[in-house]
Structure 1
Amino acid sequence: MPQVSALDHLVLTVADMDRSIAFYVDILGMTVEQFHPADGSIRWALKFGAQKINLHPAKTPFQPHAMRPAPGSADLCFLSDEPLAAWAAHFEAREVTIEEGPIKRTGATGPILSLYLRDPDGNLVEISTPITDQDACAD
């Protein structure tokens, strides 16, 4: 059976494009990219590492789209090499509320330590760092 090998991009439906771009750029450090698909429209994406999040406006989502595209319906986990204490200080300085954490979770490749917050549309955003064997021994 054929198998997929990686996630190229995902799509977030957003209520306010500028507000969402500002959050992901200013709060999470992503870069914004304008692109022009074959239909001639202007689209926006957020890039980080080798990944991309395409942004669709809620009032006029691009075709094709999810069965029920809606702002605030996503639950996203992002990995970081930065310590969670640095993220917590960054969020506090920018008046971003941490809803939960740090808390241990299970990520795609093993244990992670996570902070939870919300983006402007109410999507759940998890910032995580891998827990190493050395970290586990410190408990």
Structure 2
Amino acid sequence: MLQGLNHLTLATGDLDRSFAFYVDLLGCRPRVRWARGAYLTLGDLWLCLSCDPPRPARDYSHVAFGIPPEQFSALCARLRAAGVVEWKTNSSEGDSFYLKDPDGHQLEIHAGDLESRLASLREVPYEGLTWFD
């Protein structure tokens, strides 16, 4: 039986640039690095950077990272000062900052969790919403 997310792998065309982005800007912890990749951690997340031609999503698919609400504004200011590309404006519950990594992968920094999202849906449900618990 599946237990949850094991790891996330993102293709990168420039390992040095992506390594610096994820470690220096986003705060991932480097674990190992080799000629064509690196393993990083962020909380319980195991992130792999792999040297392959990146093909970022062109739809709403993205990776969302959590942040404590009291740290949200400072990180967003630091990311904007670093010149990251923003790809969307937040329109849902909780503070969110949508940015692209150096290879164009769509990311989100979100100050909230599933419980806060579910609470907001109790107040303002999505069209066609069905509850299972």
TM-score by length of 1: 0.67
Q: Answer yes or no: is the 8 Å Cα contact 1:113–1:130 preserved in 2.
A: yes
Q: Which consecutive unaligned segments of at least 5 residues does structure 1 have?
A: 60-69, 105-110
The verdict on how the C-alpha distance between 1:122 and 1:6 changes in structure 2, with shifts beyond 3 A counting, is same
In the other structure, the counterpart of 1:108 is none
Q: In proportion to residue count, which structure has more helix?
A: 2
Equivalent residue letter for 2:29:
T
Equivalent residue letter for 1:6:
G
Structure 2 CA distance for aligned equivalents of residues 94 and 35 of structure 1: 24
Q: Deviations over 1:90-133 (max 9, x none)?
A: 112222233333431xxxxxx54311110011000111011759
Could you list the runs of 4 or more consecutive aligned residues of structure 1 that deviate by over 3 angstroms after TM superposition? none
The answer to whether 1:21 aligns with 2:9 is no
Q: Deviations over 1:59-100 (max 9, x none)?
A: 6xxxxxxxxxx3424621111114432222111222223333
Shift of residue 13 of structure 1? 1.1
CA RMSD across the alignment: 2.8
The answer to whether 1:75 aligns with 2:85 is no
Matched positions, count: 113
In the other structure, the counterpart of 1:63 is none
Q: Which consecutive unaligned segments of at least 5 residues does structure 2 have?
A: 121-133
TM-score by length of 2: 0.69
Q: Answer yes or no: is the 8 Å Cα contact 1:76–1:125 preserved in 2.
A: yes
- SS of the counterpart of 2:21? helix
Q: Deviations over 1:17-72 (max 9, x none)?
A: 11111111122111122168xxxx8741121001111121116xxxxxxxxxx342
In the other structure, the counterpart of 2:130 is none
Equivalent residue letter for 2:43:
G
In the other structure, the counterpart of 2:30 is 32
In the other structure, the counterpart of 1:55 is 49
Q: Determine what percentage of the aligned residue pairs are the same residue.
A: 29
In the other structure, the counterpart of 1:125 is 107
